[in-house]
Amino acid sequence: MNFEKVVFGFFITLALTLNFGFFTGDMEIVDHHNGVELIAATVVSLIATVLKFGDRTQLGAVHLATSLVADLQLIVACVLWVWFGEVNSGGLDGSHMALIVSMSAGALVANAVSVVLMISEVMQFRR
């Protein structure tokens, strides 16, 4: 068993599941989405990105691209949460939360693509 592959798979899968946990719930209800979970999803996604830097294959480049997309969207979601929740005088409301969750949804798709690529890579290796 390759420990590096285990760590890689762990962080990719954890990024997907944390993002999914934040994403679930009614988009416009602020109480359905936890800011700590969004931050955790962002941090784990950034760690997963760092783990993808060593792979110099074409598949590794696609892995890195999907991870960068997820990172960008999660960082924007975090910035929007802080902006609407702390800087904006109106506070965080349903329309703002819908925008934040939409950004998380884009990252969720990128994370799902990354997990599918990882599974397809494992399936090709076994053949």
Q: Can you tell me whether residue 127 is helix, strand or coil? A: coil
Taking 70 as the pLDDT cut, the residues of the chain under it are 125-127
pLDDT at 74: 97
* Model pLDDT, residue 81: 93
DSSP conformation letters of 8-56: HHHHHHHHHHHHHHHH-S-TT-GGGS-HHHHHHHHHHHHHHHHHTTT--
**pLDDT computed for residue 126 by the predictor:** 59
